[in-house]
Structure 1
Amino acid sequence: MGLNLSPDETLHCRWAPANDPLYRAYHDEEWGVPEYDPRALWEKLQLDGMQAGLSWVTILRKREAIREEFDGFVPERVARWDQERIEKALQNPGIIRSPKKIQATIGNAQAYLDMMDAGEDFSDWLWSFTGGAPIVNQLDDVSNVPAKTPLSEELSKALKKKGFKFCGPVIVYAFMQAVGMVNDHETRCPRHKEVQEFYK
C-alpha cells in the first residue's frame, strides 16, 4: 500500500516531511544552498561534527542554544576557551554535552585561525576541492545518496592534516551536501534547480 501523499509531498526530498516545520524549513531554505562565507562554513562543520552518533534533527532543534553557548561560533572567541569555560558549557542542557566534541570545537577554531594566519581563506580552500563550483548530482531518490564519496574522504584527510577533528568522510559528505558543495536534492524536488541560482 503506497503512502497517501499530497501533490506537494510527491515533489520535495523525502527526508524532509511537511509535518516537521523546522526540518522542512531547513530543507527549503538552507540545505544545499552554496555557502561561501568562511566563518559560516566553519560553524556548519562544527555542527556536523557535533552530530556524530546523533540525528541531524537533534542538532537542528538545539542549534540556537548551541550557537548562543559557543559565542556565536566566532572562532576567535572559541579558540580562547579554557577549562572553566568548558565546564560552564557542560552545565547547559540545551547543547550536546560531550567533552570530546567541545574540545574538538576549540581545537578546530585554532586550526581555522592557523589557516587564516597562513593566508589561507577557509572558503576558498574548501571550494577548491570541487573546482570552485558545486557538484550537481542527478539523484532520483534519497536512498541512492551515498554516505561518503572518494572526494569526501580526500577532504576529510586534508582537514585532519590541518588539525581538524570530528571530520570523518561521512561527516564531511553531510557537510558538503548541506553547504551546497554537492547538490543532492532529488531531481524531482524544486530545490534541485532553485539552489543552482545561488551559485557564484
Structure 2
Amino acid sequence: MGCLMAGVETFAAWLRDYAGVIKENAAYLTELDSAIGDADHGSNMDRGMQAVVELLDAGQFETPGELLKKAGMTLVSKVGGASGPLYGTFLLRFGTALSGEVTPASVGEALHAGVGGILARGKAEVGDKTMYDAWAPALAAYDAAVAGGGDLASALKAAADAAAQGRDSTTPLVARKGRASYLGERSAGHQDPGATSSTLLLESAARTLT
C-alpha cells in the first residue's frame, strides 16, 4: 500500500486518545490489579499518560519518532512499578524503529520493535498471564493483514481484535511472571491488567492512526 500521510499530529492524537482512555479506565485497571497485583496499575498508568499529555502540550517535535521516544522516556521516569518501564520501553523502541515513510509495513516493524523491548524487560512467553498474551496474537494478526494487502486501518483493527481475544484468554491462566505469580493457582480466574491496558492501546491506535 502507499504511504500513509501520518505526521506528528497523528501520533500525538494517538497518545492523547490513549491518555483519555486510561483516565476513564483507571479505576477498572486498578480493580483488576488489586486481585493479582499491587492495586496500582490504573493509577500509575494514568499518572504517566497525563505526564505525556503535558509533554505534548509543551513540546514541538520534528518527527513522530522523536515524539514517541520522548513520550517513552517520560513514562520510564514518571511511572512506578512494572508498567512505566514496560510501556516506556515499548514507545522508545517503537519511535526508534519508525523512520522515513509511515506505511503499514513500517508501523508493523515499529510494533515488533516495541514488543521486543517489552520482552527484553519482562522475559514473558505466551501463557504466562502478562501483557504479552495480548501482544503476541496482535502482532500475528497485524502481519497477516498487511501480508494480505490490508491498509493500516484494517491491520490495526485486526491487531486490536486479536489483542482483545488474547486479553480474555488470560482470565483462566495461572500467572507465571510478576507479582501475580506469587499467588499461584489463586491467580486463575482474573483478567490480566497489563493485557487489558495493552488492548486499550491498540484499540486507541486503530481509532487514531488512520
TM-score of the superposed pair, with normalisation by structure 1: 0.31
Larger Rg belongs to = 1
Higher helix share: 2
Higher relative contact order (CA 8 A, sep 6+): 1
Q: TM-score, normalised by structure 2?
A: 0.30
